[in-house]
Each structure stands twice: as C-alpha cells, then as structure tokens.
Structure 1
Amino acid sequence: MVDQSTQKTITLQPNWKNYLLGYTLSILLIPLFGIGLVGLYWIYKKQNKYTYTFSDTQISSRDDKYQRNIDLVNIENVSVVQSWLQKKASVGDIVLKTTATSMTLRGMDDPFALKDMLEKAISIQKERLKKKEQTKPEQPEGKPGSMERMDYLTGLWQQGLVSDDDFEKEKKHFE
C-alpha cells in the first residue's frame, strides 16, 4: 500500500474552451426570454462535473456520481482525440486504454503535452515495478519451520538428551 501523505497529486478539470460553442450559444440566447441564462448555468455545471486527479501511481476520474481509478502500470495506450473546434481552441480529450477498460479525460488544455507527461509517468512507474520485482527476497531453502526444529534438535543433542547416532540420523531429515 502506498503512503498517501507522501504521494504528490494534481487535480485538473476540463478547460472552459472545451465548451466554447455552448457558452457562445447561451450568450446569444440571453435576449430570448433569458433562455441563455439557463444555458450558461447548464454548461457551467457540465464543465465542473468532472475532476481528474493524477498521482504517482494512479489516475482518478470523478463525476457527480462515480469515481474510477486506473493504475499507471495498467495503462497500455494513451491517445488524443480532437474535433476541429477543439483543435482551434487547443483542447482535446485524452483516452487511456487498459486491457479491461478505458477512461476519457475530457477537455484537457494542451492535450499533447499532457499525453507526453502521462507516457513518461507510465514508463517510470513500470520501471519502478520491475525494480521492485527484481529485488524481492529469495525464498529460504527447506520447509517452513525446519530451521527451528533443527535448532531444537541441536539443543537436545548439546544437553546430552539425544545420542550422537540419533542426532546424525535425525539431522539427515533436515538436509
């Protein structure tokens, strides 16, 4: 388990430029019985619906109902999807794919720079995992508890409670 107090996190939300068309239409509709005010409120709520939290080990996507987490080591593909208007506003959606699922980070500002940072973080996390697996302690030889039983037998032999012949015979079971 990772200590949350030492882990760095960054929280992002979709950029307002991703909803530029909705904001523009809502402002144009304000003179029409105030319908534009409702539209502005609806677009603002839609923009603030999603929150993305990036940490050293995972990415979390939260909306008003659900939270989804994806570990960086499980991400296999990172891609950027942009409509023509998103290209003009330099925003885009980032799609993260794993073997089991995918997550879309909507309306990210400067998506290609964020994609590069994500790919770098993913490779660093995978390297950390490889190093951790390589430094795992080796399994002790013999059955669990056999060293304790051998120590017990040696103690009995040293006290003279077991003969030399019996000690040698029992010792062969532990080798």
Structure 2
Amino acid sequence: MPQLMRDAGYGSTDALGLLLTLNAGAVTGLVLAGIVADRSGTKRVAMVWFALAAVLLAILSVRMEEVTMLYAAVFVTGVFVFSAQVLVYAFITQLYPQEIRGTALGFAAGIGRLGAILGPAVTGTLVTLGLAYPGGFYVFAATALLAVAALSIIPARAPAVVTEAAPAQG
C-alpha cells in the first residue's frame, strides 16, 4: 500500500498513514461483517463484501486531491477488503460437516496463503515495470471479482455426507 500510494504521488507520510487507516478499516470491517453475516447469511455477505472491495479498490486508482476524502476512501476500502476473506472462513464452517470442517478450513487457508505470497510478488513486478499505480489497484479489484465468481458457484449448503454402516456381525 505505501508503495502504491507513493507511486500515485502521495507523500511518504501519507502513504504510511494510509496503511494505518486501511488496517483500522479492516478491524472495523471484521466486527461489521460478523454482525451483517449473522443477519443476512454468510455466503451472500461475503459475495457483497468482495464486490464492494473490488469497486473500492478500483476507486483508489483515481488520484484524490482532497486528503480527507482519500483517508475516508482507504478506511472504507479496508472495511471490505480484509473482512471479505474472513467471511469465507466463516462460510466454510457453515458449509462443511464437522467431520471434514478442519480439512476444509485448512484447504481454504492454504489457498489464501497463496494469495499472500502472490500479492506482494505481483505488486513488486508492477512496481518494477512502473505499472503499480493504477495497475495494482486494478489487479486487486479483479482478484476480488474472481472471489465473487468462485463463491457464486459454491452451493449455499454442502451435500450430505453419506457414510456406509458397518455390516452387522452375527
């Protein structure tokens, strides 16, 4: 975030302040996402959260001269970007039966870690190529849209797990 904002022409102090603001939004978003998901359904809210994250990330690609507006936009972006992924974990706990829930969460976390590895690598490549701003925001917005698409094909409930009974002895 700081490098993207410096590439956008914001000063180093603002770039670091914006990182703090993004994370403050993330903390707020975690609480808000939980409340909204409890009322409206985790899958639906996760999809909306990812879609809003995509829109807000794309908006950050536009240079804002008004610093207060910039900080507000970054805060709101933080609300949706980070809590969207946490909603996926909550959805998984509702989707899979207890017997395989740990495996499902581990798999989802592993996929998430792939994103944590690829994100900085992609951003670093964009910085090196001089495309980090606004390109980085578009890449991250596209990733959020990919999450919406992925969630849209997952059923709201997993099919029942059929277990075979052991043959009767006797």
With the length of structure 2 as denominator, give the TM-score of the two structures: 0.30
Larger radius of gyration: 1
Where relative contact order (Cα < 8 A, 6+ residues apart) is larger, the structure is 2
Greater per-residue strand proportion: 1
Greater per-residue helix proportion: 2
With the length of structure 1 as denominator, give the TM-score of the two structures: 0.29
